[in-house]
């Protein structure tokens, strides 16, 4: 696959504040917001775990080791940055939890902040979103004003809902590895890792679609045949009359979506379908390669409603909320451009 997505900024007309990220893990704090409360009883223990400088895959490995679990028995709502302080919920079979085992986890850097019970396993996507508190060190001397102008523009137009670079692996090879899995040329022992690699391939195709629409001035403009998403309810619908629906898009009530290719994906029509198929052809792909994947649609942008900036002795701190599946690094790249 062609990995050359390059730098994509909606606010390219505004200078960034520069600075440095993640000098220390505590500079980047993220906490999950659950989608629903736990029932209080059931066969699964939901654990709110805090980790520092630990990848999600490493967390899963520790849970498997100390709770004596198979990979599929560990439930996660989402993936988190490694160089950070993270708080996230995981689910494990209730029978495998004991005070001794939790103590062993704590000795290996996994703090258990809460334990609750629920009848069902936690599954990917079962979260409302994430709250972030991030320090940008040594930014431009006028960082507060510059960042404020960028945030104002993003709040008016929406934040591009790109997948962050961490989705594609340290060397950016995850999409190619994912295609090798789909073509039967590569098999891994871990189903979780296989899904991660395949997801990287479909995520790159989404990013390429969003990039093309930005370059053609179609980021917030509806096309005939687009599938639009209602931000309030999450509902999807085909756009039959773009001129009629555009005012709702201008008010950020709805947004066009891009494809996450798979068998259950709602397919665009007319102009929008031509654009999305063009991306596949440029990559030498056809929809059939994703026939066994679930598929979905992803909004091209998200409303940026909860965000605050404040100056600190060491730099500029951003506190904000993003819905599930959206990346803090995309917002930070818009603001820093460094």
Note the pLDDT tens digit of each residue in 194-209: 999 999 999 999 999 9
pLDDT of residue 329: 93
Q: What is the pLDDT of residues 6-24, one digit of tens each?
A: 678 999 999 999 999 999 9
> How crowded is residue 288: how many other Cβ atoms within 10 Å of its Cβ?
8
* 86 and 181, same domain (yes or no): no
293 lies in some domain: yes
- For residue 249, what are its two tokens? 């898009």
The alpha carbon of residue 304 and the mean position of all alpha carbons in its chain are separated, in whole angstroms, by 15
Range of the domain at 182: 159-302
- Clarify whether residues 248 and 291 are in a common domain: yes
Model confidence at 3: pLDDT above 90: no
User: Which residues share a beta bridge with 47?
Assistant: 90, 115
Q: What is the pLDDT of residues 66-108, one digit of tens each?
A: 999 999 999 999 888 889 999 999 999 999 999 999 999 988 9
Q: Based on the domain organization, do 166 and 77 belong to the same domain?
A: no
Here the CATH number for the domain that contains residue 273 is: 3.30.2340.10
Average pLDDT over residues 262-279: 96
Q: Which of 212, 301, 228 is nearest to 268 (CA)?
A: 228
Tokens for 223?
């096309």
* pTM, entire model: 0.90
Based on the fold, state whether residues 171 and 215 are members of the same structural domain. yes
Residue of 27, 71, 81, 270 marked catalytic: 81
Q: Mean pLDDT of all residues in the chain?
A: 93
User: Do 107 and 184 belong to one domain?
Assistant: no
Look at the chain and report how many structural domains it folds into.
Answer: 2
Is the pLDDT at 265 greater than 80? The verdict is yes
SS3 34: strand
**Is 250 a catalytic site residue?**
no
Residues 164 and 43 in one domain: no
**Whole-angstrom distance, CA of residue 108 vs CA of residue 195:** 27
Tell me which residue of 279, 159, 277, 301 sits closest to 212, measured CA to CA. Answer: 279
- DSSP result, 230-259: ETTT--EEE-S-HHHHHHHHHTTSEEEEEE
What is the CATH classification number for the domain harbouring 89? 3.30.2350.20
């Amino acid at each position: 696959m062609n990995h050359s997505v390059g730098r994509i900024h909606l606010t390219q007309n505004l200078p960034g504040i520069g600075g440095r990220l993640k000098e220390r893990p505590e500079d980047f704090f993220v906490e999950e917001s659950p989608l629903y409360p736990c029932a209080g009883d059931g066969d699964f223990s939901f654990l709110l775990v805090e980790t520092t400088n630990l990848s999600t895959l490493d967390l899963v490995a520790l849970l498997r080791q100390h709770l004596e679990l198979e990979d599929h028995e560990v439930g996660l709502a989402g993936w988190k940055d490694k160089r950070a302080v993270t708080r996230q919920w995981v689910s494990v079979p209730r029978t495998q939890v004991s005070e001794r085992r939790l103590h062993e986890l704590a000795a290996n850097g996994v703090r258990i902040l809460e334990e609750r019970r629920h009848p069902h396993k936690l599954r990917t996507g079962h979260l409302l979103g994430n709250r972030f508190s991030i320090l940008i060190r040594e930014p431009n001397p006028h960082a507060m004003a510059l960042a404020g102008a960028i945030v104002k523009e993003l709040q008016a137009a929406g934040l591009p809902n790109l997948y962050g670079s961490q989705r594609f692996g340290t060397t950016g090879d995850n999409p190619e590895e994912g295609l090798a899995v789909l073509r039967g040329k590569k098999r891994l022992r871990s189903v979780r890792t296989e899904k991660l690699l395949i997801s990287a391939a479909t995520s790159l195709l989404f990013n390429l679609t969003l990039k093309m629409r930005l370059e053609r001035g179609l980021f917030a403009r509806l096309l005939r045949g687009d599938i639009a998403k209602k931000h309030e309810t999450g509902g999807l619908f085909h756009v039959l009359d773009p001129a009629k629906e555009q005012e709702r898009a201008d008010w950020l009530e709805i947004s066009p979506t891009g494809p996450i290719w798979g068998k259950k994906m709602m397919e665009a029509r007319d102009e929008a379908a031509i654009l999305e198929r063009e991306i596949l052809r440029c990559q030498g792909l056809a929809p059939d390669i994703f026939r066994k994947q679930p598929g979905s649609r992803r909004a091209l942008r998200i409303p940026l409603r909860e965000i605050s900036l404040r100056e600190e002795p060491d730099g500029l701190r951003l506190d904000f909320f993003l819905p599930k599946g959206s990346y803090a690094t995309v917002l930070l790249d818009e603001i820093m451009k460094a």
